A and B are shown apart, each in its own frame.
Chain A
Amino acid sequence: MAVKNLNEPSLIPDPVIPDPGPDEILGPGHDYTSVTDRIAGVVYLPWKQTPKKWFVGAFIAFCFVNILALAVCYLFLKGVGIWGINIPVAWGFAIINFVWWIGIGHAGTLISAILFLLKQDWRTSVNRFSEAMTLFAVACAGMFPILHLGRPWLGYWLIPYPNSMWLWPQPRSPLEWDVFAVSTYGLTSLIFWYIGLIPDLATMRDTAPKLWQQKIYATFALGWRGSAIHWHRYQKAYLLLAGLATPLVLSVHTIVSFDFAVSQLPGWHTTIFPPYFVAGAVYSGFAMVLTLMIPLRAWYNMRDLVTMRHIEAACKLMLGVGLIVAYGYGLEAFFAWYSGDKYESYMYWNRVTGPYGWTYALLILCNILIPQALWSHKVRTNIVLVWMISIVINIGMWLERFVIVVTSLHRDFLPSSWGMYTPTKWDWATYAGTIGFFMLLIFLFVRALPSISIFEVREAVHHGKKHGEHELESATV
């Protein structure tokens, strides 16, 4: 079926293609064929031409997956006692990482669903990749509550099913809401991602250089042939899914925040949590998109497909939601003072000046102070600085969850029940292991599937052409 020989050495263009600048979502001179070749070409690249950095990166990620396997095996043998958790801090790294990962996932849904509804054309080149990131982040997130259960092999008890003891889960608990929220989120993200992939899988089926590749892509393309009527239904379904995913993404992190806010604990029991959690999630998610996308577009020389326009737009969004997060921090302080509640005000005082005060100071530095540099156009268009700021925000958002979980738990009401929390090497191993797992999935994804939605870029080419023609017409008139 392959009509053209795509298996040529020119798949990664040489010399380096320049970035078309902050006004363009697509480099000059692209047509339907060239965008197909370029995006699909990344996948068909023979192993010998795959960038060395891919192998190095994938190998390091694989090593960390092994660390994860080791940590999980040891956990299964010994139990959660190998972690630093105890009373009063029983949640520790597992819940910090759970919230961190699920938050990272949210940017993917935001880019693919909310920006789709708002008709932001720049989302086109980054939505597929961000959706994949969502899926992998949710996979990492989902591990932690299960591992934290104590008897992870009984994790299925969380799901309501008719059992011999006629025992049912407790639907009045936010933890049970979370089971539904996270599993719905994972499944819906998978459906959204797969529906978006079907037309591109058909392209891959028709262009793959090897028969076995064609067969695999053909299987998953389900016989898609691009019929106008099919596209009509397809677009309707995609629009509806975007409309469903938008409230979903808000509900998921709201419910995650209920895990905290429904409890009576000072520092958790506050009404600001749902919006503040959602903003934080989007914040960290955009940071992760940039952290991954910037090296990727350089390695695969896709600067004309993921342009400065995308990077700048993501920076602006990050700056915006970052300010909402800052507002959340401010309101926490305000509530502590205005409530007049001594436990609440002590909690805040302890958060800032207590034994974990340095984490709070670092959090303010990473999440509020440093990202303010993004107000400057020069910083937003400096790719190295943007990348570094995105990593700083990732760290900052992790610290935020550390502050919320640990400093609130370690000193609550009675000083006699206070305690300290120190993560062990197994905590760190599990955390680093999931980062490796996430990265390995990303590396495999860019090798096996088109990491940019080809058919949507074709639409962008089409709109660009129409736009160009209009300009020509008005110029001649």
Chain B
Amino acid sequence: MSQHVELNELPAIHGAMAEFETPEDLIAACERAYASGYRKMDAYAPMPVEGLAEAIGYKKNKVALAVLIGGSTGAIGGFTFLEWMAGIAYPHNVGGRPLNSWPSWIPITFECMILFSAITSLICVLAMNGLPQPYHPVFNVPEFARASIDRFFLCIESSDPKFRTEETLQFLRELGGSEVSVVPA
């Protein structure tokens, strides 16, 4: 990555950003940018837009796998813990029931599975997204405050091998973006 920065000779630039009015314009721009060979870019929208992540070449995420692992851990861990708690740590005869009265563990096992899955989904959506992140260069662009309100942004990052400041800015203008600007790092 450092090599590209040297090539560009502009280490203080995070990338080039353009603003769009509608999600459809943004998707079209992303697809054209991807077709032109740009790979290191990100699109920003004030709401989830279907097909936007795919347009910048992002296919799959690992959230479901992580939650599956979390949930399985919760279920197995919960069951094992109850087995140990009621069978080994504190063996107690309740109305002649066997110590391993496992059907009674099911409700708590189920709740543990849900709880662990929920906590995993929160942690992994934050961790995979790199949040909390107090500082990010895109916020240096004043117009970007509207990315959470009513505007759609495409940012081609300077770490992209194809990134040349002037050419990329020109390219973004050709895509129909308004407020095309350099994003200081």
* Of A81-89, A94-102, A167-175, A362-370, the one with at least 4 CB within 8 A of chain B: A167-175
Cross-interface CB contact of A199 among B47, B104, B139, cutoff 8 Å: B47
Determine, out of B6-14, B145-153, B159-167, B173-181, the stretch whose residues face the partner at the interface.
B145-153
Residue A346 lies at the interface, judged by CB distance under 8 Å to chain B:
no
Using A188-B114, A237-B121, A255-B107 as known contacts, say yes or no to A225 and B89 having CB atoms under 8 A apart: no
How far apart are the CA atoms of A462 and B47 in the complex, in Å? 10
Q: Which single residue of chain B is at the shortest CB-CB distance from A241? A: B121
Cβ-defined contact, B58 with A1, below 8 A: no
A32 within 8 A of B: yes
A223 contacts partner chain B, Cβ-Cβ < 8 Å: yes
Task: Tell me which of B128, B135, B138 contacts A233 (CB under 8 A).
Answer: B128
5 nearest A-B residue pairs (beta carbon): A32-B150, A222-B132, A223-B133, A232-B53, A237-B125
Q: Are B44 and A234 closer than 8 Å at their CB atoms?
A: no
Is A191 touching B148 in the complex (CB atoms < 8 A)? no
Instruction: Take A227-B42, A228-B43 as given contacts and tell me if A459 and B48 are in contact as well, using a CB distance cutoff of 8 Å.
Output: yes
| Residue among B46, B86, B114, B131 making CB contact with A171, cutoff 8 Å | B86
Interface centre among B64, B131, B135, B149 (most CB of A within 10 A): B149
Chain A window 190-206, contacts with chain B (Cβ cutoff 8 Å), 1 for yes, 0 for no? 01101100010011011
Known pairs A236-B125, A237-B122; list 13 more (Cβ under 8 Å).
A3-B143, A3-B145, A174-B107, A191-B118, A199-B46, A203-B149, A228-B42, A231-B47, A236-B63, A240-B117, A244-B71, A247-B110, A462-B49
Q: Does A235 contact B (CB under 8 A)?
A: yes
Instruction: Determine the distance from Cα of A100 to Cα of B149 in the docked complex, in whole angstroms.
Output: 39
Check: B56 CB closer than 8 A to any chain A CB.
yes
Does B69 lie at the interface of the complex (its beta carbon under 8 Å from any beta carbon of A)?
no
Q: From residue 327 to 372 of chain A, which have CB atoms closer than 8 A to chain B?
A: none
A390-406 CB contacts (< 8 Å) to partner B: none
Alpha-carbon distance A452/B53, docked complex (angstroms):
26
Main secondary structure of the interface of B (DSSP, over half): helix
A184–B78 alpha-carbon span in the complex (Å): 13
The smallest beta-carbon distance between A228 and chain B, in angstroms, is: 4
Query: Are B148 and A226 closer than 8 Å at their CB atoms?
Result: yes
Instruction: Knowing A168-B86, A206-B149, say if A456 contacts B47 (CB, 8 Å).
Output: yes
CB neighbors of B among A146-203 (8 A): 160, 166-172, 174, 176-177, 180-181, 184, 187-188, 191-192, 194-195, 199, 202-203
Taking the closest CB of chain A, its distance from the CB of B137, in whole angstroms, is 10
How far apart are A195's CB and chain B's nearest CB, in angstroms? Answer: 6
* Contact, CB under 8 Å: A240 / B121: yes
Q: Given A172-B97, A206-B148, A231-B45, decide whether A462 and B53 contact each other with a Cβ distance below 8 A.
A: no
Q: How far is the CB of A172 from chain B (nearest CB, A)?
A: 4
Cα distance, A180 to B143, chains bound together (Å): 47
Q: In the bound complex, do residue B61 and residue A233 qualify as a contact, i.e. CB atoms below 8 Å apart?
A: yes
Pairwise interchain contact A455-B47, C-beta atoms closer than 8 A: yes
* Chain B, 86-120, CB within 8 A of any chain A CB: 86, 89-90, 92, 94, 97, 101, 104-105, 107-108, 110-112, 114-115, 117-119
* B5, CB-defined interface residue at 8 Å: no
Interface-centre pick from B58, B124, B129 (highest chain A CB count, 10 A): B129
Report whether A31 and B150 are in contact in the complex, using a CB–CB cutoff of 8 Å: yes
Given contacts A184-B115, A206-B146, A247-B114, contact A224 B44 (CB under 8 A): no
A291 within 8 A of partner (CB): no
- Confirm or deny: B52 has a beta carbon within 8 angstroms of a beta carbon on chain A: yes
Task: Collect the chain B residues with CB atoms within 8 Å of residue A255's CB.
Answer: 107, 111
Residue contact A258 to B107, C-beta cutoff 8 Å: yes
How far does the alpha carbon of A22 sit from the alpha carbon of B120 in the complex, in Å? Answer: 40
CB of A176 to closest CB in B, whole Å: 7
Chain A 1-31, CB within 8 Å of chain B: the 1/0 string? 1110000000000000000000000000001
Check if B67 is an interface residue, CB within 8 A of chain A.
yes
Known: A226-B44, A458-B47. A202 touches B125 (CB 8 A): no
Kindly state whether residue A213 has any CB partner on chain B within 8 Å.
Answer: no
